[in-house]
């Protein structure tokens, strides 16, 4: 489990597609999150929970399965690209963001960006099946960053980025038309599932 509080920005060393190209091996250069990493550890890469399979000096390597490549932006990563990184939260750690599983639901597209005095307001389009899980003042994770929904539109939602988020994450460089991994609030999905089962 993660909290959506990014620990550092890593840099893609390589994304190597394997076999028929349906899966891949991703290598990320990082200083902080690799300090105590071990084989089998979980690290969120742009909000995607990945398992460390190797630690080649100053970097970590993870397998990326076909479903992950289909549902996220990881398949489009190129060497040198920056990504948000977070280690799994320890059981006794603070939950400073919100409950983030690292199970990305899809890709949202930035439609507008409006600079404020010290913050930026961003609006995103969201795939239609995910829109019902987003509510004003609700939680959402974008590229692994825990954010609060400021408003909901007919096709998506908006968020505001404080100076710390602009400086410490890849969201500061996001431009209209760019896609970003989105994980909706897991509580909304479970409530919907329980209500559906209760109607049977």
- 197 near 159, Cβ under 8 Å? no
Q: How many domains does the chain have?
A: 2
Domain that holds residue 133: 106-196
Same domain, 30 and 75: yes
What CATH number does the domain containing 168 carry?
2.40.30.20
pLDDT per residue, tens digit, the chain (200 aa), is: 899 999 999 999 999 998 787 899 999 999 999 999 999 999 999 999 999 999 998 999 999 999 999 999 999 999 999 999 999 998 888 888 898 999 999 999 999 999 988 999 999 999 999 999 999 999 999 999 999 999 999 999 999 999 999 999 999 999 999 999 999 998 888 888 899 887 66
**For residue 93, is it within any domain?**
no
Confirm whether 96 is domain-assigned: no
pLDDT of residue 200: 63
User: What pLDDT is attached to residue 94?
Assistant: 82
Q: How far apart are the first and last CA of the chain?
A: 31
Same domain, 114 and 188: yes
Is the separation of the CB atoms in 87 and 174 below 8 Å?
A: no
Question: What residues form DSSP beta bridges with 28?
Answer: 12, 60
């Amino acid at each position: 489990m993660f909290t959506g509080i990014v620990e550092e920005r890593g840099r893609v060393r390589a994304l190597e597609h394997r076999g028929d190209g349906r899966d891949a091996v991703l290598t990320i250069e990082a200083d902080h999150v690799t300090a105590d990493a071990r084989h089998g550890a979980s690290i969120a890469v742009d909000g995607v929970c990945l398992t460390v399979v190797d630690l080649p000096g100053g970097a970590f390597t993870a397998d990326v399965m076909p479903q992950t490549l289909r549902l996220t932006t990881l398949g489009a990563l190129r060497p040198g690209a920056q990504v948000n990184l977070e280690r799994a939260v320890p059981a006794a750690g603070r939950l400073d963001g919100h409950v983030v599983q690292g199970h990305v639901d899809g890709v949202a597209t930035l439609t507008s960006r409006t600079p404020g005095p010290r913050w930026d307001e961003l609006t995103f389009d969201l795939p239609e099946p995910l829109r019902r899980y987003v509510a004003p003042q609700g939680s959402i994770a974008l590229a692994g960053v825990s954010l609060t929904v400021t408003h909901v539109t007919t096709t998506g939602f908006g968020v505001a980025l404080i100076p710390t988020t602009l400086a410490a994450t890849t969201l500061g460089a996001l431009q209209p038309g760019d896609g970003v991994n989105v994980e909706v609030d897991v509580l909304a999905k479970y409530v919907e599932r329980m209500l559906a089962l209760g109607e049977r």
